[in-house]
């Protein structure tokens, strides 16, 4: 009995493509023009970016030791250095005794 059920299940699986996870070919793919190239705006930070927020059309980007203000087209409006301060080069180092 179990063998008969197994054969029936395999036969139904073979006859029904929808059960095999096969989909009909999408008609939308014929409308895509893959030869088009897009020039998208970009911004590159010299330091790893940690956060981004927008306010009043300005994009603020928080990076390691920097905060950038960007225009909507991603051109840099301003850059603020948040650290480290170079006033004391031994900061964080153990001094010899």
Q: What is the pLDDT of residues 29-87, one digit of tens each?
A: 667 777 888 888 999 998 999 999 999 999 999 999 999 999 999 999 999 999 876 65
Position 78 in a domain:
yes
Helix (H) or strand (E) holding 11: helix 2-15
Position 34 in a domain:
no
CB neighbour class for 67 (10 Å; exposed up to 12, middle 13-18, buried from 19): middle
pLDDT in tens, 4-39: 667 676 666 666 655 556 666 666 666 777 788 888
Position 69 in a domain:
yes
Domain range spanning residue 72?
45-85
Token pair 């301060």 in the structure block, residue: 85
Which pTM value belongs to this model? 0.53
Measured between alpha carbons, how far is residue 21 from residues 5, 13, 18, 24, 92 in Å? 21, 10, 5, 10, 59
Q: What is the count of structural domains for the chain?
A: 1
What integer pLDDT is reported at residue 39 of this predicted model? 87
What integer pLDDT is reported at residue 60 of this predicted model? 97
Query: Do strands 58-63 and 49-55 pair parallel, antiparallel, or not at all (unpaired)?
Result: antiparallel
What integer pLDDT is reported at residue 95 of this predicted model? 59
């Amino acid at each position: 009995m179990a063998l008969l059920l197994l054969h029936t299940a395999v036969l139904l699986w073979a006859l029904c493509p929808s059960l095999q996870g096969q989909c009909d070919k999408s008609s939308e793919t014929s409308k895509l023009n893959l030869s088009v190239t897009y020039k998208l705006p970009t911004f590159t930070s010299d330091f790893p970016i940690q956060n981004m927020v927008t306010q009043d059309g300005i994009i603020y980007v928080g990076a390691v030791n920097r905060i950038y203000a960007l225009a909507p087209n991603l051109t840099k409006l301003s850059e603020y250095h948040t650290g480290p301060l170079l006033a004391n080069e031994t900061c964080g180092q153990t001094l010899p005794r």
